[in-house]
Structure 1
Amino acid sequence: MRIILKLFKTFHHNTLIQNRRYLLGDGALRIQSYLSHCQDYQSNYDDARRETFMAEMKDKLTTGDVVLKDELKTMIHLVKTDEDVNMCIQMAKQFQKVKYQLQQRYDFFFGPVFMRMLHHSKKADIAFMLMEDRKGLRNLLFHLTAVVIYMDLLFEAGKYEQVVKCYEELDRAQKYKHLPLRNHMTLALAALYKMNSPQALEKATNLVQVTYHNSKRITSPRTRAYAAALALNQIEALSKMVDRNDDPQIKQTFTDTKTDLKQAQLVNDVSIFDKLCDTIHNSRPDNEHIQNLQDKRGRLVRDHHRY
């Protein structure tokens, strides 16, 4: 309960920040970098050379010959059609099979660039199939950066439960326990927000609470803002939780928070999700009233910065 109230305070405070974007940008996904490399590859492959390359790769898949690293990298950057995507997958399987048989270590991480290809091609179902196949390409593709791109692809396709499941799997894995999974968690909380149910609110609260008590991890402001936005959307369920609580301080804080949000003109008809996912230009709060609230609750602001 106290964690949720902290989320309200965080959301309240961060709404003052202007001109900030909250969704993962290209700095995290690097789709534009992939497309730039695609242009470089494709400029070196005119129609005749591309046709020759494709024919050679089809022969290798038919005969079971070794698919080289550079050939797979080239194919990933030449993809244009659904048939190309399928061929790329078959080449990756052949490449992985030979590497496994020879017991050679990978000297290039194919996961991120392969997942960028699937993201750009909007192949969420294919990506899900490949990542769920524990005996297939998952071992070749699995990489924390690739997983961020994968989760974003699932999110864009509206597969919110799968996004959350993917994060929970990472969170349970012991080898990732002390790694910064901030972007992964942001996508998970955004997915829970879109699910918008009491169960999603409970799960979001648990995720943030566990991270809050883990000194090795830090939740980003936008992650906490998604959780706070979900709490706002589930305000009736949260009110019932407060009513069942015996702590008068919690009840008073909840009441004050709702009142403050309204008086500061932070409650309007604009979608909270739109606010979180785009640059904040409009709906500026009453700055004088905000200053009075901050003077009145300086301790709460300091608590936020410690959080």
Structure 2
Amino acid sequence: MSQTLRCALRSLCTPLKRDVLKLAPPLSSVLNTRFLYAKATLGLDGFAEQSKQIHQQMENIAGKFREKMTTYSSEDSQNMIFTEDLKNMVYMAESDADVELVVKMTKKFNSQNKELRFGNFVFGPVIMRMFYTHNKADLALECFKAPEFDGIFDQLITYQILLDLLYENGKYQEILDTFEVIKGRQLEGTKYPRNSVVLVMAACYKMNSKESVEYALKFWNELRGAGHFPMRRATTFCAGLALNQGMPEAALEIISNVRNPNYVTIRNIKARALSEIGRLDDVITILKSVISDDRPGEVAHTFNRDVLEAIKAKVLEADNPEISAEFNRLEKLFEKEGHITNETLDQHLCSEIQKPPVMNNRQGNRFNRFQQSDRRPSPGFKRPSYRPGLKDLI
């Protein structure tokens, strides 16, 4: 174990016996292939709809328009690329040649005298959605880093779209490298954009290696040291990775930061981690809690079947008749009352995030943070905080 990892674990974990850090089997050997952020969350549905409208409007002149833009975007052309030109071409892009044309137009547009731009259209998220639609992960990353595009892609939602595109293409190391660039830019005074942090932890979880857990634990301590409270999904990715890498103590310390311990992923990780360190009495208590929390008409609290199987293996190893009898009783009760899901913990951790984030670009923002009220609040009323990311995503 490296010195970095030892330091990270020392700051995360309470003093427990080191001999309990036995290598745990992976949560699942099958990688989940569903999207992490749903298309609507990234604005891709809206992009597709707008693209359809632009295609209809430009149908009769599309060919001539492309020819004109190809001429205008050449280096020796004195013609300018206007906001409306670039916007139309982004939405019209159908082929690789069209995407390359958009890249050339964007370079020229960004190099033109900024004093001549009077519109407030923000291109970063829209162009990144175009890259996403055409699955151009490498080109998107290249443009993001290129100095010719300085300022174009500096929006928090653009960071999220780019990192999600890299995630869907399995470019996990590139996510970590790109996040270092994002941290350095500190857009809007934000060094750790919440949705980007989720994707960084997701990348570490997918990598599932000694190096990735070292990075994740070091990054976790960096976040906590800066007073940053990660979203619940980032927390469960980090804890799930620690559990996969045989560090149940670290997993328990990480999930202790979640304010509400009743979420299904938290409950499963905690029960599995406690079983790994031999605290089966505490596991039984957690199992019993889902029964006491049952409410008529509400969805039953569940455990993942693979988690219960892992716990059962630990119960058999312990050879404690009392614990075994109680576990068997609860397992039968869970089967009868629908407290077991066949979805694996890995699948649950990697399920789609549906809730729309707060869009950080001014154009195309259909998700209002809150409704302004003309009424003056009553004395003593405290307006809730609507800062992005305060409410965790499941």
Q: TM-score, normalised by structure 1?
A: 0.71
Tell me which amino acid in the other structure corresponds to 2:140: A
**Structure 2 residue aligned with 1:128:** 141
**Structure 2 residue aligned with 1:163:** 175
**Structure 2 residue aligned with 1:75:** 89
Q: Deviations over 1:264-297 (max 9, x none)?
A: 4651576533111227xxxxxxxxxxxxxxxxxx
**Structure 1 residue aligned with 2:244:** 233
**Structure 1 residue aligned with 2:345:** 272
* Cα separation, partners in 2 of 1:59 and 1:103, compared to 1, 3 Å: closer
Question: Which aligned pairs between 1:273-292 and structure 2 lie closer than 5 A?
Answer: 273-278=346-351
Q: Is it true that 1:91 corresponds to 2:164 in the alignment? A: no
List alignment gaps of at least 5 residues for structure 2: 1-8, 15-33, 252-272, 288-302, 310-342, 353-391
**Structure 2 residue aligned with 1:301:** none
Which residue of 46, 64, 73 corresponds with 1:33?
Answer: 46
**Structure 2 residue aligned with 1:224:** 235
Higher deviation after alignment, 196-205 or 74-83: 196-205
**Structure 1 residue aligned with 2:72:** 60
List alignment gaps of at least 5 residues for structure 1: 6-20, 243-250, 280-304
Asked if the contact 2:13–2:250 (Cα under 8 Å) also holds between the matched residues in 1, the reply is no
* Cα separation, partners in 2 of 1:177 and 1:70, compared to 1, 3 Å: closer
Aligned residues: 252
Q: Is it true that 1:255 corresponds to 2:272 in the alignment? A: no
Report the alpha carbon displacement of residue 212 of structure 1 after superposing the two structures with TM: 2.4
Residue aligned with 2:52, SS: helix
**Structure 2 residue aligned with 1:8:** none
Tell me which amino acid in the other structure corresponds to 1:275: H
* Cα separation, partners in 2 of 1:195 and 1:95, compared to 1, 3 Å: same
Q: Deviations over 1:241-261 (max 9, x none)?
A: 99xxxxxxxx99972567756
Asked if the contact 2:90–2:130 (Cα under 8 Å) also holds between the matched residues in 1, the reply is yes
Report the alpha carbon displacement of residue 64 of structure 1 after superposing the two structures with TM: 3.7
**Structure 1 residue aligned with 2:161:** 149
Which structure's CA Rg is the greater one? Answer: 2
Whole-angstrom CA distance in 2 between matches of 1:260 and 1:43 = 62
Asked if the contact 1:111–1:142 (Cα under 8 Å) also holds between the matched residues in 2, the reply is yes
**Structure 2 residue aligned with 1:299:** none
* Cα separation, partners in 2 of 1:176 and 1:163, compared to 1, 3 Å: farther
Report the alpha carbon displacement of residue 60 of structure 1 after superposing the two structures with TM: 1.4
Whole-angstrom CA distance in 1 between matches of 2:275 and 2:12 = 12
The RMSD of aligned alpha carbons is 3.4
Asked if the contact 1:193–1:227 (Cα under 8 Å) also holds between the matched residues in 2, the reply is yes
Whole-angstrom CA distance in 2 between matches of 1:223 and 1:173 = 21
Question: Which aligned pairs between 1:199-218 and structure 2 lie closer than 5 A?
Answer: 199-215=211-227, 217-218=228-229
**Structure 1 residue aligned with 2:37:** 24
Asked if the contact 1:116–1:149 (Cα under 8 Å) also holds between the matched residues in 2, the reply is yes
Q: Deviations over 1:115-143 (max 9, x none)?
A: 0000011000111111121x222432232
Q: Is it true that 1:119 corresponds to 2:132 in the alignment? A: yes
> Going by fraction, where is helix more abundant, 1 or 2?
1
* Cα separation, partners in 2 of 1:271 and 1:136, compared to 1, 3 Å: farther
* Cα separation, partners in 2 of 1:257 and 1:142, compared to 1, 3 Å: farther
Asked if the contact 2:159–2:182 (Cα under 8 Å) also holds between the matched residues in 1, the reply is no
Residue aligned with 1:29, SS: coil
Percent of aligned pairs with the same residue?
A: 24
Q: TM-score, normalised by structure 2?
A: 0.56
Whole-angstrom CA distance in 2 between matches of 1:274 and 1:252 = 21
Whole-angstrom CA distance in 2 between matches of 1:159 and 1:41 = 32
Tell me which amino acid in the other structure corresponds to 1:225: T
Asked if the contact 1:196–1:234 (Cα under 8 Å) also holds between the matched residues in 2, the reply is yes
Tell me which amino acid in the other structure corresponds to 1:149: I
Q: Which structure carries more relative contact order (alpha carbon 8 Å, separation 6+)?
A: 1
**Structure 2 residue aligned with 1:292:** none
Whole-angstrom CA distance in 1 between matches of 2:88 and 2:80 = 15
* Cα separation, partners in 2 of 1:93 and 1:261, compared to 1, 3 Å: farther
